[in-house]
Structure 1
Amino acid sequence: MSTDYQFFTPKEIVQELDKYIIGQTEAKRNVAIALRNRWRRMQVKEPLKQDIVPNNILMVGPTGVGKTEIARRLAKIAKVPFVKVEASKFTEVGYVGRDVESMVRDLVERAIALVKAEQMETIQDKATHQVEEIILNILVTDIQEKINTDKSLEKQQSSYNTRERFREKLKSGALDQREIEIKITKTTPPSNINSLGAGPAIDEGFIMNFQDMFSNFLPKQTKKRKVTIGEARTLLLTEEINKLIDMNAVKEEALARASHSGIIFIDEIDKIAHTTPSNSPGVSREGVQRDLLPIVEGSTVQTKHGPINTDHILFIGAGAFHMAKPSDLIPELQGRFPIRVTLENLSEKDFYKILDEPKSALPVQYQALLSVEGVKLDFSLEAKQEIATTAYLLNEEIENIGARRLQTVMSHLLTPILFDVPDTITPHTTITITKEMVQEALADLIKRKDLSAYIL
């Protein structure tokens, strides 16, 4: 099982997170410790190893302060399966909607994709070579048929030279537009079981398992297609890679990785907190919590790839908790999130840092977009400060949506420029955003009382 994050100490993990997320030091420290503890556990000998469970984390803070981004970046650092779900999308068992086990099945699917992608990298060269040979075989078929009737060495040598000439042209791309006929394996997909009039209470896992089992009995058909060599490369490469990948090994590794290093981020967990009387109409929020509890505590979930135990999956819950408090969750669920972290509101200084420091800061993104059109976009220091100030004031006066307010402000500021490129603003143009331009462009945003069009 992959343990790439063993090389990152908690301090190094925080340093990596700092490249993309401003502030929130306490949250970063806690997730860094949680990640390192997972590697530490893998080094512990049995049977104690099985008894060490992760300390799940509950992040409390307003929207747009970095809760989701911390969890997502953490998973990327560790190269582990990660899935984000919204607790408000789940419904109590027996009601129409997603059941809580679906997030574990989603995690397994992410793990399958992750492991398969890693294996694809290792076999890419071999598959590419095999595709090249298949295409060469098609190109020299006529010559090989002649060789079958004339065994002279001269003819064979001529065929060899022809094949090598084709190979050189193939590698150079000179034959990419030439059409050839190839054979492609085709499997007829099963019809959707829901279309048979089944009731809404049918379990999602049962549907997937049934469809997967049914598809295994379908005969694989081969059909001929006339395509260019360039298209043939793509189609045949996919087939050859699928032939070379041992899916049984992929599933086994994916289940292990999801079980021992997977991360499930449960957003909007405050939306299922019990803040209304138990006899209120509608789906019971407490019921969803009780369905969620065994998954977080540790249980076995059946997936179409096999059973997975959730004992060592790291769960990170998050919510603004404006209308509810963490104590409004049922006590059992509270106990399964022993690490509680409060994320702070962003300051005006934080807004400026978000514009200036992260590798994928908004100004960098817009510069990259316009560079495609040959237009260079620059921001003066004062312009960034003015954008940060405006975003902060709008959050204070209207509604606090955190760093997402910067997207609103930047979009409003740059919309005229984005519209005029390349018709009015032609390539090889340099545009420098100044403080005065920001003030002029955003003046109406500050003055207007009704900003509903700009609230995300």
Structure 2
Amino acid sequence: MGESDKNQDEIKENPAGPEDKDQARDDDQYEKVCYICRRPESKAGTMISMPGGMNLCHDCMQKAFDTVTKSGMDLSKLPGMPYMNMNLNEMNLNQPGMEIPKKQKIRKKADKQPALSMKDIPAPHQIKARLDEYVVGQEKAKKVVSVAVYNHYKRAFLGGKPEEETVSGPDEEVTIEKSNILMIGPTGSGKTYLVKTLARLLDVPLAIADATSLTEAGYIGDDIESVVSKLLAAADNDVARAEKGIIFIDEIDKIAKKKQTNTRDVSGESVQQELLKLLEGSTVEVPVGSNQKNAMTPMATVNTDNILFICGGAFPDLEEIIKERLTKKSSMGFGAVLRDTFDKDPNLLSYVTNEDLRTFGMIPEFLGRLPMTVTLQGLDRDMMVRILREPKNAITKQYEKLLAMDEVRLVFEDDALDWIAGEAIKRGTGARALRAILEEFMLDIMYEIPKDSNIGSVVVTRPYLEKSGGPLIRMRG
């Protein structure tokens, strides 16, 4: 037998060449992803492999066949629909615009996360200590959030099922329920930043949604279920993890009941009404991997009984409502309350009641499902200076790190920080004003310093900020 015959026999025994073997070995390390719903094989189940390297899950394949069967249409005849043709082997997929995109590769997860144990649950003081590293002041708000999250961890540890949430006593069973939180504070006081910091520090899924885009079902905008859809995405489409997660709804004051309107209030009171079922606990159908509901998008059923909801808002003009209620007493006599008594009270929001919130435009049923109300203080000059200095990721430390990459040391004088804090108070936008001011004055420094490699340090002085002088620059050596 000649050499050619031997080669033919080897080819018959090993039809796959060395490149195919390497490709097959590489594919074993990755999951197949459905071409339509983009779910990996670990979520959607076994895939159906099509010619051209395209994979479809059973759900999407069934929906495609159902659509074709019900409509009686031959989708392969429609322009722009080459992949619905069942005779893919006869098509020339190398034509321009006809290529099938390469399949997305997702690495298979090695092992599941270990089950949560009682020893792993951080105590409230530990959660607050971590928050103290990033958030200045707001002691009561941090304490309330720490306790709420600690109790939420306990519910997660107990499994989240009603029968497992009962603590047997001598004659009764106690069911652990969640306590949703309403955070009220002026703009720039740290409501959203507090929750975002919490998201980085904790292991439970956390989603941050904006109430301004929510509308009543059937109108343009996001449905109420989109809030839960974001949490499901944060939990990697794991329904069990999402049902123990935390949802923060920001700008909750923007869905207050509109006053003196003759049109349908589809983004105000109606949204409050539809949020009731989520806050109380219900089962909702949400799309997986998308915010749009359609026939081709797989749906998941999520129970919100054990999802902790934190709602936050600035509630502008709420202070005027509180002040009006507090000064309703007699304005004559020795016990009279003067009208300007609360004008300069920095903690005026701490006197808030449900009556004030109802006057603002929140419906009683909505407030009843947010039993814990915590107010954040407005920032004064001293707190502004502390925000510039103390947090781990203070904005001054961010600039110091940026210049350290150019081997330049950046220093802020105490008088300069005090001037920046005073200027931020005048702008009235809270801690956000600090970054705006620093961005303005650091622009020239960040532009000029890299020009000269002999510069060793820069000191930001108060005269430079007052535009009566310049920064103090020291050369190397």
- Confirm or deny a common fold (TM above 0.5): yes
Deviation at 1:433, TM superposition (A): 1.2
Contact persistence 2:121–2:150 (CA under 8 A): no
Aligned to 1:271: 254
Q: Distance in 2 between matches of 1:352 and 1:388?
A: 6
Q: 1:28-427 counterparts in 2 under 5 A?
A: 28-42=142-156, 47=163, 49=165, 51-112=175-236, 251=237, 254-260=238-244, 262-277=245-260, 279-280=262-263, 283-305=266-288, 306-323=300-317, 325-327=356-358, 328-392=361-425, 394-395=426-427, 400-423=428-451, 425-426=452-453
Aligned-pair CA distance for 1:4 = 9.2
Superposed CA deviations along residues 171-228 of structure 1, whole A, max 9, x for unmatched, are xxxxxxxxxxxxxxxxxxxxxxxxxxxxxxxxxxxxxxxxxxxxxxxxxxxxxxxxxx
The CA deviation at 1:2 is: 4.5
Take 1:279 and 1:436, find their aligned partners in 2: how far apart are those partners? Answer: 56
Normalising by structure 2, we get a TM-score of 0.58
**Alpha-carbon deviation of 1:420?**
1.8
The 8 Å contact of residues 131 and 197 in structure 2, kept in 1 or not, is answered as yes
Computed over aligned residues only, the root mean square deviation of the Cα atoms, in angstroms, reads 2.4
TM-score normalised by the chain length of structure 1: 0.61
Greater helix proportion: 1
Deviation at 1:281, TM superposition (A): 5.2
State whether residues 121 and 153 of structure 2, in contact with CA within 8 Å, keep that contact through their aligned partners in structure 1: no
Say whether 1:11 aligns with 2:11: no
How far the C-alpha of 1:55 sits from its partner, in A, is: 0.6
Give the Cα separation in 2 of the matches to 1:442 and 1:295.
Answer: 57
Work out whether residues 38 and 54 of structure 1, in 8 Å CA contact, stay in contact via their aligned partners in 2. yes
Distance 2:186 2:307 in 1: 25
- Percent identity, aligned pairs only? 38
Distance, in Å, in 2 between the alignment partners of 1:63 and 1:2 is: 37
Rounded to whole Å, the distance in 2 between the matches of 1:342 and 1:33 is 16
Task: Please give the alpha-carbon distance, in whole angstroms, between the structure 1 residues aligned to 2:447 and 2:247.
Answer: 40
Between the aligned partners of 1:40 and 1:283, the Cα distance in structure 2 is: 37
Is this contact kept in 1: 2:385–2:421, CA < 8 A?
yes
**How far is the alpha carbon of 1:335 from its aligned partner?**
0.9
The structure-2 alpha-carbon separation of the partners of 1:99 and 1:427, relative to structure 1 and needing over 3 Å to count, comes to: farther
d(CA) in 1 for partners of 2:398 and 2:364? 44
Is contact 1:22-1:354 (8 Å) kept? yes
> Residues 83 and 39 of structure 1: is their aligned pair in 2 closer, same or farther, counting only changes over 3 Å?
closer
CA contact (8 A) 2:413 2:459 kept: yes
Aligned to 1:20: 134
Could you tell me which amino acid in structure 2 is paired with residue 348 of structure 1?
Answer: R
Distance (whole Å) between structure 2 residues aligned to residue 80 and residue 42 of structure 1: 9
CA gap of 1:374–1:31, structure 2 versus 1, over 3 A, is: same
Q: Give the C-alpha shift of residue 380 in structure 1.
A: 2.2
Query: How many Å apart are 1:419 and its aligned residue?
Result: 2.0
**C-alpha separation in 2, matches of 1:5 and 1:348:** 41
Q: Which moved more, 1:71-80 or 1:52-61?
A: 71-80
Distance 2:281 2:264 in 1: 30
Q: Contact 2:118–2:157 at 8 Å: present in 1 too?
A: no
Aligned counterparts of 2:388 and 2:230: Cα–Cα separation in 1: 33
Cα pair 2:258 2:269 within 8 Å, conserved: no
Cα distance in 2 for partners of 1:441, 1:3 equals 61
Q: Is the 8 A contact 2:226 2:286 kept in 1?
A: no
Number of aligned residue pairs: 296
Match of 1:438 in 2: 465
| 2:209–2:230 contact (8 Å) kept in structure 1 | no
**Larger Rg over CA atoms:** 2
Q: CA deviation at 1:94?
A: 1.1
The one-character-per-residue Cα deviations of 1:287-308 (angstroms, maximum 9, x if unpaired) are 1111211111111122345211
**1:231-273 deviation digits (Å, cap 9, x = unpaired):** xxxxxxxxxxxxxxxxxxxx5xx3212111x111111111111
Q: Which amino acid aligns with 1:382?
A: D
Q: Are residues 311 and 388 of structure 1, via their aligned partners in 2, closer, same or farther at CA, if it must alter by over 3 Å? A: same
Q: Does structure 2 conserve the Cα–Cα contact (< 8 Å) formed by 1:5 and 1:36? A: no
The question of whether the paired residues in 1 share the 8 Å contact of 2:209 and 2:249 is answered with yes
Secondary structure of residue in 2 paired with 1:373: coil
Instruction: Letter of the 2:232 partner, please give it.
Output: V
Q: Residues of 2 paired with 1:442 and 1:84: CA distance? A: 44
Other structure's SS at 2:178 match: coil
Distance 1:37 1:282 in 2: 36
